[in-house]
Structure 1
Amino acid sequence: MLHDPFGLRVLLHHEVYAAPNRFFAHFFLHEYFRHVPLWLQAFLSPINSVYVACALVKLAVHLLLVYGLAVAASNCSNVLNWRFLLAAVLTTPLLQASGYYGQMGIVDQSITYACFYALPMSLLLVFFLPFVRAALHGPPVRLSWPSYLALAALAVVLAFNGPTVAATALLVCSGSLPVAWHRRYAALPTAGALEPRAWRAFQEISPGLLWPFVWIIGLSLYSMYIGRNNSENLWATIPLAERYIRLAQGMVYQLVGSELVTGDYRLASRFGLPLLLGAVLLNAWLGRRWLPTPQRATVLSALKWLGVFALVYLLLLPLGGYRSYRAYVVRRDTILPITLGLVGLFTLSTYWLLVYLPPRGRLRYAGAVLVLLAVFTVADKHRISNTNAGERRLLSLLSQSEAPVVALPADCNLMDWQPLTDYRKSELNSRLFHHWRITKTRKLYYQR
């Protein structure tokens, strides 16, 4: 995969191997963690440098998501402007790192998942940002040649960042272009033949919208095609009908509150996603009564299209294969595009209601919004059990040992999803620990 960025071996020779359409996700992870921890060691210990490198990626993704959503809602890119700050304040508590994380976590606690899901989704938000601003606030998109080239390059990176990003781009763009065409078609005079009118409507679609969307649609279709030869889809298989049954169960669990524990779900008192969905629907109802006509129409239209996107996305999700660690198909990572859509729509509708409501109603509404944001903030409190202290301790024991094969306690995982009981399976980790200068020589280890 790292030697064939665009999956040509799948296209030309029908080869099957891991992650053929995920080159840039693996490439970033590979290059970043080979170099950044070593640079940080100029002023940090080897062990600390690894965790700071992880934190920097997560912080950058978190800030990029808040920035993109706040700019889209406020139509202001000046981070010191009150409009931007208000939208950012509305967005920030919804990016849960602990409390409701099991339902609606966006930046994953696992650094690999954060790089494979939240990072490319934040870049997809950057790609869509000029189009979203135009759709919500106007005027139409007008791009310079450097902007065209930048979006074209970004589209290549996004399309080969895995099926979630490619599928999201494909659904959004392939749905937006027919809508844009139909609006132009309906606005044209009805006189004349059908075909010329249809062709004129196509010609009147803004080039700033048409060509970037056509480009990323083509790339995403190709990415999804070569993704069919992903060997990871062979790890565990169940019939397609059963996947849809599990999808329905998973959606119920997601809405009533659930947490993934040892490969299965157990019900928990988690109401983050229902709270967010309820707030969006309440905002739509209030906006229908109190927002000016343009803003009202925009909020209701955005809610409608987000619902259509969510329905189609969820129905297509089981076709992407089955993973045993996602027993019910849907999980916070697979529904990330829907979660981000809900967060963005909440921010937009709340922002406009705070701006346009009458003064007396605005104060009451602002108080209710503060209570809701306080609920999310308090729920997101740090849990003592959710730290890296155990893994740090194991790394410290490994670095201090003089034995070529080190026995470590099994009370915590070390750079893996489970304790390693076979020292031969620690070969790759031992090479990486040596590269990071955590160990002076390559040391194998096992846990007992």
Structure 2
Amino acid sequence: MTSKLLSVILLVLLAADLGYSFYNYYFSTIDGDFPAIVLATEPYNKVLEDPFGMDVLGGDRYAAPNRFTAHAVMSTYFKTVPFALQYVTNPIESIYLCIALTKILVHIGLLFLISYYVSAWNGFRWKNILIAAVIISPLFHSSLVYVDQLSVIDPCITYVMFYPLPICAILLYFLPFYRYLITGMISRSPIFIAVWMVFALFLVLFGPLPAPILITGISILFAHIVIKNFGRNPDPEHFRRLLTAATTINRTVLISLSGTLILSFYSMYIGSKNTENDWSPLALEERYSKLFTGVKEILSNQNYGLQFWYAATAFNLILLYLLYRKRHRKYFKLVFFLFVFCLLYIAMLPLGGYRDYRPLILRRDTLIPVTCIVMYCWASSGMLLAAALPKFKKAGIFVFIAGISFYYTQKDFVPFSALNTPCEKTVLSTIAASETDCIALPRDCTIASWNFNNECAQSENVATLLYYYNITPRKIYIHYPENVE
């Protein structure tokens, strides 16, 4: 009875947190990249015409050549779902409802996958997945308080489709190999290998993150397996021992991961021909200088909300190591390799080019892999401590975890007045009722744009998008003169 009551309480807490997140997501704005990607107009039309970047091999250069999957998923999804929602609501509300639903679905998917990974140390049981989800959920900030670095679900829907959504796909991809590390079991079926290779082909084209994550993660995984095999072999001849360690890797693991590694390097190559990298050219040395500044900023700036959480996670890990390191050797090996992954991943970031809107390279979107790993370590170490500590000491770790969760939960609350979508909806209604073909708007908020355009012709994509979604009866252009109120 007590166990069932606890499960009900945890479900209520989780549902309340997810419900509040959905409420916040409903007040999202339409970002400036949305029209061009959904409508597949310049400069993103070419990536859908050349899915696998074959033209790049012939010397062509264009925007986002290694991001076909992300563009195709986003364009197809937002050309379909809003129209389905228009059966139950008006065209304006359908877009915002679609954005909110998308964000909460990605949110739930990512939360579930991380929680499932955490539950591995307790037998992949549903109750442990639920506990892990409740521990991690407060760290999914949906408000504007810690938006710069801790917001896993980005305020901009385009970045949700290009960053956390691909992370969900990566976690799904690695799941069989993670279970293999924990249990030693993986499918030997050729069908599994074939399916996973097709999965990998589209995964490496799912935005800017998958290829570097896969290259780093697979390299570390291979190194771990070879080192383990090497240690088990008593052969005194080191070279023969190393060769045996490499050649005795599980066939499914070897074929699947080797193929994915090759595809990832291909994605990195065609991605180097991305014309978007030309928008903000910066020497590699300068990029690394900015990265070092960014790392120091993250670890020292209290407005980011990370150092407190990082310190709490480190405390859990150190305490678990001091008390139970012999019992959890496999766990700490994994944590060590995850730490190495984080270092290598961050070190690779400047190689992906520079963007003015990421002045210090590290930002919430590029930091998502590290954030997810710290979430994993925070929840797993806390649960392992709670399971191992004597009964009279369990209360201490429960209070500690609950205190951190409460702190980040209350930090996520913002007043209704801080949400900007009502401005957008009011302006969209004004545009829809306009009798002119170009309407002047006040500079209160932008509509599907990053800036205030002065000329009507500069809003071609916005006008097309609003007409496409049945918001306007015809293409109505917009501009933002400085003197309009």
| TM-score under structure 2 length normalisation | 0.85
Report if the CA contact (8 A) 2:122-2:128 is conserved: no
Residues 1:373 and 1:189: Cα distance change in structure 2 (over 3 Å)? same
State the alpha-carbon separation in 2 of the partners of residues 352 and 409 from structure 1.
55
Q: Deviations over 1:13-43 (max 9, x none)?
A: 1111100001111111111111111111111
SS of the residue corresponding to residue 237 of structure 1 reads coil
Q: Once the 2 structures are TM-superposed, how far is the Cα of residue 208 of structure 1 from its aligned partner?
A: 3.2
SS of the residue corresponding to residue 330 of structure 2 reads helix
State the alpha-carbon separation in 1 of the partners of residues 398 and 196 from structure 2.
38
Q: Residue 309 of structure 1 corresponds to which residue in structure 2?
A: 341
- Bigger shift: residues 245-254 or 19-28: 245-254
Q: Residue 251 of structure 1 corresponds to which residue in structure 2?
A: 295
Give 1:3-402 correspondences, 5 Å limit. 3-11=49-57, 13-75=58-120, 81-98=126-143, 99-135=145-181, 137-190=182-235, 194-195=239-240, 197-257=241-301, 269-270=302-303, 272-291=305-324, 293-295=326-328, 297-384=329-416, 385-402=418-435
Q: Residue 464 of structure 2 corresponds to which residue in structure 1?
A: 431
| TM-score under structure 1 length normalisation | 0.92
User: Which amino acid counterpart does residue 410 of structure 2 have in structure 1?
Assistant: V
Q: Once the 2 structures are TM-superposed, how far is the Cα of residue 181 of structure 1 from its aligned partner?
A: 1.6
Aligned residues between the structures: 433
Residues 1:330 and 1:271: Cα distance change in structure 2 (over 3 Å)? closer
Q: Residue 264 of structure 1 corresponds to which residue in structure 2?
A: none
State the alpha-carbon separation in 2 of the partners of residues 141 and 447 from structure 1.
58
Report if the CA contact (8 A) 1:166-1:224 is conserved: yes
State the alpha-carbon separation in 2 of the partners of residues 199 and 65 from structure 1.
38
Q: Once the 2 structures are TM-superposed, how far is the Cα of residue 343 of structure 1 from its aligned partner?
A: 0.8
Q: Once the 2 structures are TM-superposed, how far is the Cα of residue 368 of structure 1 from its aligned partner?
A: 0.9
Q: Deviations over 1:77-103 (max 9, x none)?
A: 999932121111111111111232312
State the alpha-carbon separation in 1 of the partners of residues 82 and 292 from structure 2.
42
State the alpha-carbon separation in 2 of the partners of residues 292 and 325 from structure 1.
43
User: Which amino acid counterpart does residue 446 of structure 1 have in structure 2?
Assistant: H
Gaps of 5+ in 1: 258-268
State the alpha-carbon separation in 1 of the partners of residues 118 and 88 from structure 2.
39
User: Which amino acid counterpart does residue 184 of structure 2 have in structure 1?
Assistant: P
Report if the CA contact (8 A) 1:140-1:206 is conserved: no
Report if the CA contact (8 A) 1:79-1:85 is conserved: no
Residues 1:315 and 1:79: Cα distance change in structure 2 (over 3 Å)? closer
Report if the CA contact (8 A) 1:290-1:356 is conserved: no
State the alpha-carbon separation in 2 of the partners of residues 77 and 416 from structure 1.
47
Q: Deviations over 1:378-402 (max 9, x none)?
A: 1111343233111111111111112
Report if the CA contact (8 A) 2:150-2:304 is conserved: no
Q: Once the 2 structures are TM-superposed, how far is the Cα of residue 422 of structure 1 from its aligned partner?
A: 1.6
State the alpha-carbon separation in 2 of the partners of residues 352 and 125 from structure 1.
22
Give 1:413-432 correspondences, 5 Å limit. 413-432=446-465
SS of the residue corresponding to residue 445 of structure 1 reads strand
Report if the CA contact (8 A) 1:76-1:83 is conserved: no
Residues 1:234 and 1:192: Cα distance change in structure 2 (over 3 Å)? closer
State the alpha-carbon separation in 2 of the partners of residues 211 and 287 from structure 1.
36
Residues 1:147 and 1:405: Cα distance change in structure 2 (over 3 Å)? same
Report if the CA contact (8 A) 1:430-1:443 is conserved: yes
Residues 1:335 and 1:222: Cα distance change in structure 2 (over 3 Å)? same
SS of the residue corresponding to residue 79 of structure 2 reads helix
State the alpha-carbon separation in 2 of the partners of residues 34 and 77 from structure 1.
42
Q: Once the 2 structures are TM-superposed, how far is the Cα of residue 179 of structure 1 from its aligned partner?
A: 1.9
SS of the residue corresponding to residue 49 of structure 2 reads coil
Report if the CA contact (8 A) 1:73-1:344 is conserved: yes
State the alpha-carbon separation in 2 of the partners of residues 367 and 166 from structure 1.
40
Residues 1:396 and 1:143: Cα distance change in structure 2 (over 3 Å)? farther
User: Which amino acid counterpart does residue 127 of structure 1 have in structure 2?
Assistant: Y
Report if the CA contact (8 A) 2:439-2:478 is conserved: yes
SS of the residue corresponding to residue 406 of structure 1 reads strand
- Bigger shift: residues 92-101 or 102-111: 92-101
Q: Deviations over 1:243-270 (max 9, x none)?
A: 111111111222223xxxxxxxxxxx42
Report if the CA contact (8 A) 1:299-1:349 is conserved: no
Pairwise CA RMSD = 2.0
User: Which amino acid counterpart does residue 249 of structure 2 have in structure 1?
Assistant: I
Q: Deviations over 1:114-141 (max 9, x none)?
A: 0010100111011112222333x32333
Residues 1:239 and 1:203: Cα distance change in structure 2 (over 3 Å)? closer
SS of the residue corresponding to residue 441 of structure 1 reads coil
Q: Residue 4 of structure 2 corresponds to which residue in structure 1?
A: none
Percent of matched pairs sharing the same residue: 31
Is 1:2 equivalent to 2:48 in the alignment?
Answer: yes
Report if the CA contact (8 A) 2:149-2:363 is conserved: yes
